[in-house]
Amino acid sequence: MNQELCQVLVQSEGILVLVRLEGNRFRVAGHPPGWAAVLAHGGLHADQEVDAAEVFVFLELFLREAAIVWEANDGSSVTSEPWTETLATREELAFTATARKIGGKEILLVRGLGVDFDERYKVLRKARELALSHEKLLKETSEKETLLHCLVHDIAGPLTTVANCFQLLEAEQGLSEAGRGLVRLGRSATHRQHTMLREMLDLFAAELSTLDQFSVDVATAPEVLDCAHVVLRSLRHSFDMKGVSFQLLLSPPALSVWKVVGQREKLERILYNLLDNALRHAPPGTTVTLRLEEEERAIRVSVVDQGPGVEAEMSNRLFGRFQQGERTKGKVGLGLFFCRTMIKHWSGEIGHEPDPRGGTCFWFRLSKPDFASPREETRGDAAVPGEGPGDTPGNP
């Protein structure tokens, strides 16, 4: 019963079992599979003696390798490369052959690979082509990254000199308050340029590596409220120069812990990019609002300006690389792309929407450390709360 079962199994798998007699002469063991009946050299049947090299021309060379395995008699086996044969039906079928010694008998197993082999072969060939393309792309990207580092290095040197000059000027005695304000403005501008250069390097590094490690632990996770205070202080002079005010609103106002998944320096950069973007689009005399809202499993951060809003043609590609609107240009177009890259890496969400009171609301949502793993399915956007208690406008 076991022998019959094995024969049926081998036949159903499309395997022809040949037992070696001498030289290239073999005997067909058991019932051959269906394809053996339509071979170009004639059909095969059970117990038939055949010259394997005549039935399958490819095997003439492979049998020399097989003979080494049979003589070794150490339980090893050898499998041929795939080859194709044209059947009597004029169809082509792929085969492989495996030689091994079983129970003192020299066995040759010829397997018909069928249609699945063609599909696998196409997939493997496509995968090989993609691997070569990927390797080429990595090489080109590496060369561009090297060039970028060189350019940034060349630009950063003079920029550092300018920043140091501003620092020395600010320490000068007898400088008027207006002059000191201009010096601070110059220092702020050089700081922004340094930030932009670091941003460009980080973006390339983010796409070529696994990005910086970030914290999901409550003890080390960044405090988004602290980051907001730092960024608002650094932008205070820029807001004053343009005549735009800002306010920081908390919901709920009594919440003492505003920790989120992420990395503090990158989180500050995200807040800086969003607030700087809002400032550039906000008309003088208007207010930019930074709102922090607690949700059940996350913190939602919103930056709302009272500017002209996002152009319709820019809406779907706003977070892309090197994207700038027609109304307000002057940046390289990497700030929002950096925000999206980092927020997505931290398994968060980011987007924008028109504000009901005019202008645009840019928002992102990051999980609280307690709920960082596994990531829970987030709800829809929370409604923008009304003007409630919060920090005093203009005092971060």
Residues 130 and 12 both lie in one domain: no
Give the count of domains, the chain.
3
Residue carrying structure tokens 């020299």: 106
Q: What is the pLDDT of residue 103?
A: 87
Give per-residue pLDDT as tens, 16-36: 999 999 999 999 998 888 888
Check residue 372 and give its pLDDT: 61
Residues 186 and 234 in one domain: no
β pairing state of 287-294 and 245-251: parallel
**What is the per-residue pLDDT across 254-290, written as a single tens digit (0 to 9) for each?**
888 899 999 898 899 899 989 988 998 899 999 999 9
Q: 55 and 150, same structural domain?
A: no
Measure CA of the first residue to CA of the last residue in the chain; give whole Å: 85
In the chain the beta strands, taken as DSSP E runs, fall at 15-22, 25-29, 49-51, 77-79, 83-86, 92-102, 105-112, 245-251, 287-294, 298-304, 349-354, 360-367
Answer yes or no: do 246 and 343 share one domain: yes
CB 18 within 8 A of CB 52: yes
Same domain, 75 and 6: yes
Q: For 10-19, what is the mean pLDDT?
A: 84
Three-class SS of residue 237? helix
**Parallel, antiparallel, or unpaired for β 298-304 and 77-79?**
unpaired
Same domain, 136 and 31: no
pLDDT for 386 beyond 70: no
Per-residue pLDDT, averaged over 128-157, amounts to 76
Domain boundaries, position 150: 121-208
Indicate yes or no: pTM above 0.85: no
Which one is predicted more confidently, 151 or 104? 104
Average pLDDT over residues 338-346: 87
Please check whether residues 179 and 281 belong to one and the same domain: no
Same domain, 186 and 262: no
pLDDT of residue 198: 72
Same domain for 71 and 158?
A: no
